[in-house]
Chain A
Amino acid sequence: MLELRDITAGYDRGAPVVRGVSLTLAPGEAVGLLGPSGCGKSTLARVAALLHRPDAGTVVLDGTPARGWRHRAPREQRTAFGVLFQQPRLSADPRLRLADAIAEPLRATGRKDQIPTRLRELAPLVGLGDDLLARRPHEVSDGQLQRACLARALVLRPRWLICDEMTAMLDASTTAALVAVVESYRRESGAGVLAVGHDRTLLERWCDRTVGWAELGAATGMPDVA
């Protein structure tokens, strides 16, 4: 289980963008979190992925409360997550070839020996051939880069995938292709998925259940500054 209990978070203690929000994901479950931009749902997604320390509340990962955040999180908790963001260009290291970007989490966790195998498995899954794998981010399209980011998010076989507006920049076909990859991974691995977005049609098609931001308790935020 991934449990978010009574989370309050933000960037200014006086004005949290998430206030008292609770949400639970079962293994193998895909939950859509629907809300307008600026409402704080991305902040909640970052808390769920242990990338942002909440001001109050607890994240409980399979019964164990999270105690550290970002690089301070214990490795087995940190690597339980794969994370995808809206803008692949902001999350991909511009110097790395796509193959190296995908393999980077393996290298960082001392599993270099698995790199060739995992690349052989993942590259066809996300539709990247050798030619694209050898390129750097500025030499590929947004859609191709997001495919690489998805492969990187899956490379450590995470138990939880957090997708924050993963497809907002992408055309319909690339969107359908990437969601299909996430879904086949979910089926085969039993991982849980939290899909954050503002497209109701997409989330309802993709997820087992979709919750609106306003239903999540005393949610707050700044819907006016989308």
Chain B
Amino acid sequence: MTAHRTPDPRPAPNPAPTTGTPPEGTDEEPGAATAPPRLAVRGLTVRFRMPGGRSVAAVTDADFDLAPGECLVLVGESGCGKSVLASALLGLLPGNAEATGTALLTDAHGATELLAAPETELARSVRGRRIGLIPQSPAAHLTPVRTVRSQLEETVRELTGVRRGAGLRAAAERAAARAAFPAGHLDRHPHQLSGGLAQRAATALALAGDAPLLLADEPTTGLDRDLVDRTVDELRRHAEAGRALLMITHDLAAAERIADRVAVMYAGRIVELADARRFFGTPGPRHPYARGLLDALPGRAFTPIPGMPPELGDLPAGCAFAARCDRATMTCATLPAPRDGVACHHPVPPEREPDRARTA
């Protein structure tokens, strides 16, 4: 190859410096127009090796960017691979898992490719510091022998430099208040908390760290609607202050409240990546699975999608949704490549409302 260059169909995670107009700032300023995304994921794939030589395709070929100040919500049902994706970004996959692809984290500390980074670096400078995690099972994330206050103060001390005394106490209490954790419960131990309170304690811990990228894995499990709203509003404010937020949830109402963009995951693949307002409003989702998911809401048609998702260890060769899809044709026996954010051979056209009549 000499002078000729083939354009890459996918946007490069790290755009080459433009030769015409120089970037506005000379130093790497996060949020500047030319800055790379906070997180750029390309071809992220996770396989679990199972006994007997079987393999489980937990995540396949995930591509997305996440900008500072942006909130991307990954939705899908339990077991669709969305939590595995989060674990892969944090280097927390179990020993029998293998992750390929790239996930480039870029912030004031520099750029780190998360999948290639050694565990020592992830443990020392990434988890908790550059990526805050609100975990799915908060109980496992809290230290059982210490009170919530002491864990919050330690996090504040380690990550923000506030050393001691009244300032530290106040900073910890502010972090608790932001996660709607009642001050009267700060001196309790994790086992003295209900599930909802433990969830809020874990949220407070993650917010206290002030990481430039926040990863929230089902952060509203076990919370009432009022508290769901308060929690996601707080996460939203956190993102608006220039941090990036990746939230994973099965709660579509929470997703609608907070998301700038929505990624829908089905059987390990992102099948639709769309602007949240268009997705939840008009024209609505374009992928048949995503349409079905919204139609299942009690505030909408309340109609379930027939059938169940395929096993991740036994996926069909073509579209994994074909067995449940009312738009499927012979073409769907081959894998649909993503086009305009939708991985479907026959997406619902964006310009007209589809025929909503069902044969059931």
Q: Cα distance A224–B196 when bound, in Å?
A: 10
Q: Which of A23-31, A75-83, A155-163, A194-202 contacts B (4 or more CB under 8 A)?
A: A194-202
A170 touches B302 (CB 8 A): no
Chain B at the A interface: mostly helix, strand, loop or mixed? loop
- Please indicate the chain A residues that have their CB under 8 angstroms from the CB of B292 in the complex: 173
- Residue of B76, B193, B194 ringed by the most chain A CB atoms within 10 A: B194
Q: A109-137 CB contact bits vs B (8 Å, 1 = yes)?
A: 00000000000000000010000000000
B308 touches A144 (CB 8 A): yes
- Please indicate the chain A residues that have their CB under 8 angstroms from the CB of B182 in the complex: 224
Task: Give the number of residue pairs across the A-B interface with Cβ within 8 Å.
Answer: 89
Q: Report the nearest B residue to A128, measured CB to CB.
A: B308
Q: Cα distance A198–B226 when bound, in Å?
A: 9
Supposing A38-B196, A141-B79, A170-B250 touch, asked if A206 and B298 sit within 8 A by C-beta, the answer is yes
A172 touches B293 (CB 8 A): yes
Write the nearest CB–CB distance from A145 to chain B, whole angstroms.
10
A171 touches B308 (CB 8 A): no
Q: Report the nearest A residue to B200, measured CB to CB.
A: A226
Q: Report the nearest B residue to A132, measured CB to CB.
A: B308
Write the nearest CB–CB distance from A130 to chain B, whole angstroms.
14
Say which residue of B78, B193, B302 sits within 8 Å of A169 (CB atoms): B78
A199 touches B304 (CB 8 A): no
- Please indicate the chain B residues that have their CB under 8 angstroms from the CB of A56 in the complex: none
Write the nearest CB–CB distance from B199 to chain A, whole angstroms.
9
Write the nearest CB–CB distance from A42 to chain B, whole angstroms.
12
- Please indicate the chain B residues that have their CB under 8 angstroms from the CB of A108 in the complex: none
Using a CB-CB cutoff of 8 Å, which residues 175-201 of chain A contact chain B?
175-177, 179-180, 198-201
Contacts A175-B296, A175-B304, A202-B298 supplied; 9 other A-B pairs, CB < 8 Å: A36-B226, A37-B223, A143-B308, A170-B77, A171-B250, A174-B77, A204-B298, A206-B298, A226-B194
Residues of B within 8 A of A (CB): 76-79, 182, 185, 193-194, 196-197, 221-227, 250, 252-253, 292-294, 296-299, 302-305, 307-308
